[in-house]
Amino acid sequence: MSNKINIIISSISIALLVIASSVTLSSCSQEESISATEIQENILNAYMLKYYPNIPEEDNGLYILSNKEGNINISTSQYDTCYPLVHYSILTLDKTYSSTIFKDIAKQLGEYSNFKYYGSRVWTSGVGSISIGVERMLDNMKVGGQCTAIIPAWLSSDEVDTDMYNSTGSTFIYDIQLDTIVADIFEYETTLLKKYSDKYYAGLAEDSINFYFNQTKTVESDTNLVDGDAIKVWYVGKLLDGYVFDTNIKDTAIKYDIYTSSASYSPLSYTHYMTIGSAYTNNSFVHGFTKAMNQLNYGEKAETFFGYEWGYDVSGKLSNGVGIPPYTPMYYQLRVLTKDEEDALN
């Protein structure tokens, strides 16, 4: 990957190339009207001629800059719909990184952060949720492979109209590593959670489908929680690979190097309701967190891990690389404060 970073094309050269192409085209504007598609095509052709004269346009409209063959003969083209798990970088034509989830590249760029998640991302292939250009890249890749390709602007949409240029798109360089392909994401997640349970909890059984709950401390209490009671909790939120996405415990935040002075490291208030349906309605937390908390009383502890349908579902909650990607199971460690601890805070 370091060779890709070392191959840096001056952004000034690209700018001059675009300007030169535009000037050439504008000089002909009085003679004929130049479409947006033709302008973009001419700019890309000039770019390829200058920097990659020996790389032809593929039949699918892409320009393949490099291609490492995969070691497993499975590709997205074998499915109508599937879920590729990938690592990727997106670069502009001057080789400036627009984004990357390769940890080593982020470190070399000086942009690595413990707040960001660098694990595989789940994409959905075959339903128009990723661009045509990316679909075509994946169709020609095998699991374990890595491909770098220029995706023209007109292939940056999830639909292709050969008579109309996608005016909102831009030409980018994509570097994609195909980690694996999943045919059934729910079945894949179920297996993942079961393996996690077997490895760390000696085969703990599901409490509900794809929901696991392990109470680690039970307290005999004279206080029975009723609807509307607010209890307070310390928590640590992780993904199954150990990435800590959130905590309200200062020492834990420092340990995982995600401490920020702007955060309030204090117990979280949770409103208890006797019925889980009411708890879902009256609390803003993900359902897995709510289901676990509704089983706890003052002073009790638990661990819970659950599937994406109990969490942030198919959309995730990811901002600038921080948070929960789509289709991602979650884990929480929970400790409810005792009544005395809670009273001491008031």
pLDDT of 4 reads 42
Q: What fold does the segment set 54-182 form as a domain?
A: Chitinase A; domain 3 (3.10.50)
The ranges of the chain with pLDDT < 70 are 1-32, 159-168
**Strand residue runs (E) in 47-125:** 63-68, 83-91, 97-100, 121-122
Residue ranges of the domains in the chain? 54-182, 186-345
What is the tens place of the pLDDT at every residue in 97-131?
999 999 999 999 999 999 999 999 999 999 989 99
CATH 3.40.50.300 fits 186-345, yes or no: no
Sequence-ordered list of residues with C-beta below 8 angstroms from that of 134, at least 6 positions apart, any chain: 123, 151, 174, 176
Fold agreement between 54-182 and 186-345: yes
Q: What's the pLDDT at 52?
A: 97
Q: What separation in angstroms does the CA of 45 have from each of 56, 152, 173, 222?
A: 10, 10, 15, 77
Per residue in 200-243, pLDDT tens? 999 999 999 999 999 999 998 777 899 999 999 999 999 999 99
pLDDT at 168: 54
The alpha carbon dihedral of 136, 137, 138, 143 has a sign of positive
pLDDT at 214: 98
- Note the pTM of the prediction, 2 decimals: 0.86
Residue 38 has a pLDDT of 80
Kindly provide the b/e burial profile for residues 311-325, where b requires at least 16 CB atoms within 10 angstroms of the residue's own CB. Answer: bbbeebebeebebbb
pLDDT score recorded for residue 345 = 85
